[in-house]
């Protein structure tokens, strides 16, 4: 197998580690980054893209469409593209929509779940669903990860997984706000229930299936992101309360602004998003979260 990993950041390096450590792996793995200095001996895209069996997108959501435009002329239509990008770009489209507008159906998927790069680099287990429409291509990916530290499960709900991956980052900011306020675990337990119900309704709004919120792409990934010391999204919430501002560049806040534009007036259907909007506009209003659940 020829495998190309786009993006030499934390998650790209983690994917490289997982696939390189596969027992008796015959795979050829090429890491590529826009910043050539990040990858020693980096080969040009026009050399590594055409023979690729798999391409993993490990870049910020805002960079996905630009990259797809770059490689489309040399892309083999049989190549399976798997995105680990979790956000909404400036166009307001989810990764499922961006990939669907640029690629053939069934030959792209989303890898979503509790996969903290820092834990992977420490040799710890990770778990994800591969949301992809083509069952045969899921089986190919399943064989690719067999025997590795990443255990994957099948889902055909590409739309639901895409928006769940956005929401888990956004709602993790709320958990950080809770810890910044010092409200305790009982309060967060109650908030978790509210988050899960709102996540289900937003997934349905985007054409996905509500049960996706209860799986690894939703609740599983949310829990890992909202409780981990490694999570920029969680830390963003803590900083908002303590410093009345946020200097961290996490996907949660960046995606929230684009999701807000996409929803327009429909955001009024989702009270937790509305509360977060008010807090981000005026961090001194963080206590609104307490009042909502009082």
| Residues that are catalytic | 168
Residue pair 148/158 in contact by the 8 Å Cβ criterion: no
Distance in angstroms (rounded) separating the CA atoms of residues 294 and 290: 6
Asked if 226 and 175 touch (Cβ cutoff 8 Å), the reply is yes
What does 158-171 look like in DSSP terms, one character per residue?
A: HHHHHHHHHHHHHH
Which of 205, 201, 204, 277 has its CA nearest to residue 240? 277
* Cross-strand pairs, 248: none
Element (H, E) at 54: strand 54-57
Helices (H), the chain: 10-20, 45-48, 61-71, 95-102, 117-121, 135-145, 158-181, 185-205, 221-227, 232-243, 251-263, 271-281, 288-293
Of 7, 27, 112, nearest in space to 67 by CA: 7
Q: How far is CA 45 from CA 32, 33, 60, 116, 126, in A?
A: 8, 10, 18, 27, 29
Residue pair 135/146 in contact (Cβ under 8 Å)? The answer is no
Residue pair 86/115 in contact by the 8 Å Cβ criterion:
no
């Amino acid at each position: 197998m020829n495998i190309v990993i786009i993006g030499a950041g934390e998650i790209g390096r983690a994917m490289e580690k997982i696939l390189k450590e596969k027992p008796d792996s015959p795979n050829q793995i090429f890491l590529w980054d826009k910043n050539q200095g990040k990858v020693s001996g980096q080969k040009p895209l026009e050399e590594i893209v055409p023979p690729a069996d798999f391409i993993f997108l490990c870049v910020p959501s805002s960079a996905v469409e630009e990259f797809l435009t770059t490689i489309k002329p040399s892309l083999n239509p049989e190549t399976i593209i798997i995105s680990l990008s979790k956000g909404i770009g400036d166009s307001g489209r989810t990764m499922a929509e961006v990939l669907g507008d640029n690629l053939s159906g069934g030959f792209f998927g989303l890898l979503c779940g509790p996969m903290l790069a820092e834990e992977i680099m420490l040799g710890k287990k990770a778990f994800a669903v591969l949301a992809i429409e083509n069952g045969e291509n899921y089986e190919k990916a399943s064989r690719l990860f067999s025997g590795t530290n990443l255990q994957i499960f099948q889902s055909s709900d590409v739309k639901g997984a895409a928006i769940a991956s956005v929401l888990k980052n956004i709602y993790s900011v709320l958990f950080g706000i809770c810890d910044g306020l010092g409200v305790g675990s009982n309060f967060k337990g109650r908030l978790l229930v509210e988050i899960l119900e709102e996540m289900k309704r937003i997934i349905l709004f985007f054409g996905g299936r509500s049960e996706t919120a209860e799986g690894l792409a939703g609740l599983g990934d949310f829990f890992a992101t909202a409780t981990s010391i490694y999570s920029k999204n969680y830390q963003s919430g803590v900083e908002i309360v303590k410093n009345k501002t946020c200097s961290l560049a996490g996907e949660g806040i960046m995606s929230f602004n684009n999701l807000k534009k996409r929803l327009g007036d429909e955001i009024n259907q989702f009270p937790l998003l509305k509360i977060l909007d008010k807090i981000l506009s005026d961090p001194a209003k963080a206590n609104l979260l307490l009042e909502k659940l009082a």
